[in-house]
Structure 1
Amino acid sequence: MSDTTAFRHTTVLLDEAVHGVLARPDGVYVDGTFGRGGHSRLLLSQLAPTGRLIAIDRDPEAIAAAAAITDPRFSILHSAFADMAEQLAAIGVHEVDGVLLDLGVSSPQIDNPARGFSFRFDGPLDMRMDTTRGESAADFLATAEEREIARVIRDYGEERFAGQIAKAVVARREAGAPLTRTDELRELVARTVKTREPGQDPATRTFQALRIHVNGELQELEQGLNAALRLLRPGGRLSVISFHSLEDRRVKQFIAEYSKEVYDRRAPFAPPAPLILNSLGRFKPTDAEVAANPRSRSAVLRVAERTDAPLRD
C-alpha cells in the first residue's frame, strides 16, 4: 500500500451535505464514501453521545486513514456502498437515520500517480477504487473487443470520438504494445481526438469513462440508492453529492421517482400510492468554495427525506 500522507483532500459541500443528512443528533448514520473522512468528522462533531456513525469505503487506503478516528461512536467497513444493507445487517443494524454519499474520486486518489486515475501524472493504468480486487483499466483495454471499448467510452464518457479511440487502442494492442501507462493512453487519445472544448484535455472523457466502467460506478450508485431507501426509517435523510451529469441525472431521477404519488391504471378511482421521499432541494458550491477548491465546481448535492409511507412492491 502506498503512502498517501502527502496527498491532501478538501471535502466538497461539507457543511451542506452534513446539515442535509442530520435528521436527529442521536441517530444512526452511514457515510457510504468515507474517503479521507471530512464528512464523517463533521458529522461526529454534531452527533449526540448516543449517536452512531458507520462509514463504508472500498479503498484500502481510506480504511487505513480511518484508523486515526478513535471516537467510540465510529466504525468503518471495507465494502462497496452498494452492499450497505447486507453489511449493516451483519452487524445488527437494520434501520438508519441518514445516508450520505459523496460520489467523487478523492484528491489522494487523483493525485497519487500509482492509482492511475489522472492523465496529469504518469503511472500504471489502474483506476480501481479497491486495489485488492477486480480488473484494472489496462486489463480491460488489453482484452476487450473494439466495440465494447467504444461502447464504454461513448456511454460513460459521452465521447463522440469513442469509435476512433477504440480502434486506435486495438491497433496498438495488435501491434504488440498494449496500453499500460496513463501517459500512453493520454497520448493515444490526443492523437485521435482532433477537437475538444476549450480548456479541456482531450483525454478527460476517456479517463472518466474507463474509471466508471472499471469500478462499476453507475451500477453501484443504482444499488446504493435502493439500499439506502430500504434502510432509512421515517424522517431519515439521503444526502448525495454528484460530480458529473451521468451520476446527477440518476440521483435526480431516483428522488423524483419516489417523490410523487403513483396511480394504478388498473384501478383509476383508487387513491394513489403515497410518495416515499420528500425532496429537500438541490445545492451547488458557493463562488467562494469554487475559488478555494476548483475541483468542486461541478458538484451537485441533492437531499431527500423518507416519509412514513411503505415501500412499493
Structure 2
Amino acid sequence: MSKFKALLVSEGADGTFEQRVVERDTTDLPAGDVLIRVQYSSLNYKDALSASGSRAVTRRYPHTPGIDAAGVVAESSVGEFAAGDEVIVTGYDLGMNTAGGFGQYIRVPAGWVIKRPKGLSLRESMLLGTAGLTAALCVDKLEQAGLNAAAGPVLVTGATGGVGSIAVSLLASLGYDVAASTGKEEQGDFLRELGARQVVSRSALQEGTEKPLLKEQWAGAVDTVGGEILFNVVKSLQRGASAACCGLTAGANFQASVLPFILRGVNLLGVDSVELPLVVKASMWDRLSVQWKLNDLERLVHEVGLDDLPQAIERILAGKLVGRVLVNLG
C-alpha cells in the first residue's frame, strides 16, 4: 500500500467537471498484473476530452485521465516483468475507463505493457507518447502503400499539434519534402525549424469543398484533423497516392465522392494506435528508438507537473497549444 498524487476529475451535482490534484492510495487502483510507479506521461487531446467530462471517452467519474505512462515496475504478478523494470504503456483502456498516467501509480494488465526500448529513455518515450507512435504508424502505412522520398511533397495537416509536429519532424528526417498545414500561421517559423519546406494555411485547404476533384498536389498526406479538410486533401492527392487519417479535431464527418478513388486510384488509410496488438506497438517503439529516432524532440515540448495540468488542458481544448506537453510526475 502506497500513497500517491493524481489528477482526479469529478462530476459536480450541477453536471460540471472539476479537476484537482488529490492524494490516493494504490488500493484504490483497479486489479491488474503490473503496478507501475509512473515517472512521465503526456497530454493528448483525448486526455483533455476525458478531463472535461466527455462520455465518449470516459463513462464513469471520478476518474484519472492519461492515456500514456512511462515508469518503473513496483510489483508484478507475472513472469514477464519484475520490480525495477522500466516500461511504457500507451493506449488500450489506460486513461479512458482505467485510472491513467496522470497519477503517480497505475495498475494494468501485463498485455498492455512493453519494456522500454534500449534506445529511448523513459523521458524520451513520453516526449513521443501516443502522438509519436501515431505519427510513426501513419508514415509506416504510407510507405507500405508505396510512398518514397522521391515521390513529391507530403502534406501534414494540424501540423502544430502533437501528432502533426512529430510527423513533420519524422518525415523531414527521412528526407521527405514536407508541407505543413496549420491554422496558426504565426507558427510558420516553428514548422520550418522542424523541417517543413512550405507552410500551407488551413483556409487554403478549405477551398473547393464543393468540387469533386482538385488539382493534384500531394504525393502523400498525414491528416490529423478530419472533417471537410480531409476530403479536400484526398481530392488533391496525386494519382495513386495515399492519405493516412488519424484525427478528427475538425470533425468526424465529411461529404465524400467516389471520383478521386476511381479516377485517380487514391487511397484513404485509417490509422489506430489504441487497440493495436502489443507486438505491433513494440515493433514501432523499437523503430522510433533506432532507425527513426528523433534527436530534437525537446524543442517540441512544454514540460508541466500535475498542478499545471488543468491550465494545459484548458489550452489544448481551446486550440492554443503547440507541440507536445510532457507531464513530469516526479
TM-score (norm 2): 0.25
Structure number with higher helix proportion = 1
TM-score (norm 1): 0.26
